[in-house]
Amino acid sequence: MDEQKAVDVNEILKKMVQMDGSDLHLTAGMPPVVRVYGELLRMDYPKLMPRDIEDLVYPVLLPGQREQLEKEWELDFSYSVPGVSRFRGNIMWQRGSLAVNFRAVAINIPDMKDLNLPPAVRGLSQLPRGLVLVTGPTGSGKSTTLASIIKLINEEQSLNIVTIENPIEFLHSHKKSIIKQREVGTDTFSFASALRHVLRHDPDVILVGEMRDMESISIALTAAETGHLVYSTLHTQTAPLALHRIIDVFPDSARNQIRQQLADSLQAVLAQQLIHRADGKGRVVAVELLLSTPAVRNLIREGKEHQLYTVMQTSRNTGMQTMDQALAELFLSGKITRDMALEHCVDRVELERVLRRGQY
């Protein structure tokens, strides 16, 4: 990419933000590629060679990050372009060359009311203790949802909040609350290591960027059980699958205990997707919401998570809703098309029945 020697990664990232892109991909053999509203678009640059990617990316890394990349062959990091945006980055090796992804993170944390979340979600910021999970595929807005909840707590309550993230995405300033943000790889060695020590910081609220392994899940559950409010994320499509994922991490001999801990500590599970809007102007979030009730807790204890979907279907009066109910509401209000609703549904037959009756 000889004619691009004067171009640096900041310029490309700035153009990405101007395009309203969510992700920038730098891969050998391709020009820079931007994801805009879910679609991949090639930018007006020559194809990148392996050396071009190194020249673009190495200058933004700290010495320790470059050493980590050379040692582990992959790296999560955060990066800021002043006046443009913050970015969550990931570097990996593929076919002997670097491949890099930058995900744009809004500088301003959105208000919950602007995210199209169910009204009951606001109450999750006022819980005294317990576990709240936000699930969904990569790029579904989980971090944005959690950031809006933390922002609301920070504005309305005087609490001590500790976050453990990889990397830090949204930057919070102290308002009514104290906020300490720890980044894995910079401020702590791992999620599990940070969780082992976090209780010594007198936290009221703990945000765990992702519960990745048995140790981090176990410590998070214990923290939720012992009077702390814990928020975290998982990569699952539905709320019941999130509970299956947690339980399945543990050996058979420990699963009854984990079910009991989940039943006692779980407050809510949000499963969300981002759906293309009918007017073509961006995407809107569809949210499935499971709230803890006596019926929900009993089903978790008894290992009957497969019945939770029925509970959500019949408990809208408590604030719960299934993904298909959320999609039906978005379609009937004109925000998404019928095809988009059917493409992202959990049970096509059930969704079509609801749409035929014109109710949700």
pLDDT at residue number 38: 84
User: What's the CA gap between 48 and 50, in Å, rounded?
Assistant: 7
Both structure tokens of 70: 């050379």
Cβ atoms of 240 and 309 within 8 Å: the answer is yes
- How would residue 4 be classed by pLDDT, with cut points 50, 70 and 90? very low
Answer whether residue 1 shows pLDDT above 80: no
Mean pLDDT of 152-169: 95
Mean pLDDT of 340-347: 94
pLDDT at residue number 120: 95
List Cβ neighbours of 230 (8 Å cut-off, separation of 6 or more): 130, 131, 132, 205, 206, 207, 208, 220, 223, 224
pLDDT at residue number 258: 96
Mean pLDDT of 26-35: 96
Eight-state DSSP code of residue 123: G
Whose CA is closest to 286, among 298, 276, 300, 299?
276
Distance in Å from the first CA to the final CA of the chain: 54
**Phi and psi of 80, rounded to 5°?**
-125, 140
Answer whether residue 186 shows pLDDT above 90: no
Strand order in the sheet with 74-81: 39-42, 33-36, 23-27, 97-105, 85-94, 74-81
Q: Burial, 196: exposed, middle or buried (Cβ in 10 Å; 0-12, 13-18, 19+)?
A: middle
DSSP string across 154-217: HHH---EEEEEESS--SPPPPSSSEEEEEEBTTTBS-HHHHHHHHGGG--SEEEES---SHHHH
Mean pLDDT of 231-259: 95
User: What's the CA gap between 240 and 341, in Å, rounded?
Assistant: 20
Mean pLDDT of 225-253: 95
Answer whether residue 321 shows pLDDT above 70: yes
CB contact burial 108-146 (16+ within 10 A = b; e otherwise): ebeebeebebbebbeebbebebbbbbbbbeeebbbbbbb
- How would residue 359 be classed by pLDDT, with cut points 50, 70 and 90? low
- How would residue 358 be classed by pLDDT, with cut points 50, 70 and 90? low
pTM equals 0.84
Whose CA is closest to 194, among 205, 176, 178, 206?
206
User: What's the CA gap between 173 and 262, in Å, rounded?
Assistant: 32
Residues of the chain with pLDDT > 90, as a percent, come to 83
Per residue in 34-43, pLDDT (tens digit) is: 999 889 999 9
Per residue in 46-94, pLDDT (tens digit) is: 999 999 999 999 999 988 899 999 999 999 998 999 989 989 999 999 9
CB contact burial 300-327 (16+ within 10 A = b; e otherwise): beeeebeebbebbbebeeebbbbbbbbb
Strands (E), 204-343: 205-208, 229-234, 266-276, 283-291
Per residue in 189-231, pLDDT (tens digit) is: 899 899 999 999 999 999 999 888 999 999 999 999 999 999 9
Residues of the chain with pLDDT > 70, as a percent, come to 98
Q: How many CB atoms lie within 10 A of CB 224?
A: 24
List Cβ neighbours of 111 (8 Å cut-off, separation of 6 or more): 148, 151, 152
112-321 is classed in which CATH architecture?
3-Layer(aba) Sandwich (3.40)
Q: Reduce the DSSP state of residue 32 to 3 states and report it.
A: coil
Strand order in the sheet with 283-291: 178-183, 160-165, 205-208, 229-234, 130-135, 266-276, 283-291
pLDDT at residue number 357: 74
| Range from 164-168, 213-217, 304-308, 353-357 carrying the lowest mean pLDDT | 353-357
* Domains of the chain by residue range: 9-104, 112-321
Both structure tokens of 338: 């019928």
Both structure tokens of 125: 């910021």
pLDDT at residue number 360: 47
Asked if domains 9-104 and 112-321 share a fold, the reply is: no
Answer whether residue 324 shows pLDDT above 50: yes
pLDDT at residue number 20: 92
9-104 is classed in which CATH architecture?
2-Layer Sandwich (3.30)
Average model confidence (pLDDT) for the chain? 93
- How would residue 107 be classed by pLDDT, with cut points 50, 70 and 90? confident
Answer whether residue 257 shows pLDDT above 60: yes
